[in-house]
């Protein structure tokens, strides 16, 4: 029984001893980072890697979206590439907001504020449409 327990402990310890950090990627984009043994199609850094400390510091200090793989090496994206990523995220967020407004998924406060603004600038005899209210909300949000 002791022999079996000892073998299990030894296997358990050696499985962690060879584990390093795996970098999964598609093209230049890093799609995942986790610990484990080497696998085909992923970069692998372990204690034996000459630049292990540098790569681990890079992974710890730079968000994954700002990392890329070039010629089989993990590197940080340039400032221009980071700006493109941040702009794309901002555009997606603005589009999601526009989509929500178009589906009338706005707060009561935004709806009421837009309605009051429209009423204050219109002659009371002219009807106000839902499209005008939604456009006012978009204008107020700078979209």
Is pLDDT of 68 > 90? yes
Domain final residue pick, 54, 77, 100: 77
pLDDT of residue 142: 84
Mean pLDDT value of segment 20-36: 90
pLDDT of residue 2: 62
Is residue 3 domain-resident? no
Report the number of distinct structural domains present in the chain. Answer: 2
Is residue 128 domain-resident? yes
Q: What pTM was computed for the model? A: 0.58
Mean pLDDT value of segment 15-37: 82
* Cα–Cα distance measured from residue 112 to residue 116, given in angstroms and rounded to the nearest whole number: 6
Q: Considering the chain, what percentage of its residues have pLDDT values greater than 70?
A: 83
Which of the pair, 88 or 13, is modelled with greater confidence?
88
pLDDT of residue 103: 78
Question: What residues does 45 pair with on adjacent strands?
Answer: 21
Which of the pair, 78 or 136, is modelled with greater confidence?
78
Say yes or no: 72 and 90 in one domain. Answer: no
Tell me the C-alpha to C-alpha distance, in Å, between residue 41 and each of 26, 51, 84, 102, 108: 9, 19, 27, 43, 51
Domain final residue pick, 48, 77, 106: 77
For residue range 69-103, list pLDDT tens digits in order.
998 889 999 999 999 999 999 999 999 988 887 77
The boundaries of the domain holding residue 56 are 20-77
pLDDT of residue 18: 56
Domain final residue pick, 56, 77, 98: 77
Is residue 30 domain-resident? yes
54-58: Cβ within 8 A, 24+ apart: 55/21, 56/21
Is residue 2 domain-resident? no
For residue range 31-45, list pLDDT tens digits in order.
999 888 888 989 888
Q: Considering the chain, what percentage of its residues have pLDDT values greater than 90?
A: 25
pLDDT of residue 97: 87
* Cα–Cα distance measured from residue 142 to residue 136, given in angstroms and rounded to the nearest whole number: 10
């Amino acid at each position: 029984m002791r022999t079996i327990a000892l073998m299990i402990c030894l296997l358990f310890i050696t499985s962690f001893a060879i584990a390093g950090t795996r970098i999964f990627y598609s093209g230049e984009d890093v799609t995942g980072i986790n610990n484990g043994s080497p696998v085909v199609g992923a970069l692998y850094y372990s204690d034996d890697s000459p630049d292990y400390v540098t790569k681990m510091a890079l992974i710890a200090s730079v968000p994954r979206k700002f990392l890329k793989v070039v010629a089989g090496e993990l590197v940080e994206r340039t400032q221009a590439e980071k700006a493109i990523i941040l702009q794309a995220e901002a555009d997606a967020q603005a589009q999601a907001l526009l989509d929500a407004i178009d589906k009338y998924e706005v707060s009561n406060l935004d709806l009421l504020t837009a309605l009051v603004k429209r009423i204050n600038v219109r002659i009371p005899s002219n009807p106000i449409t839902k499209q005008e209210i939604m456009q006012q909300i978009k204008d107020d949000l700078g979209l």
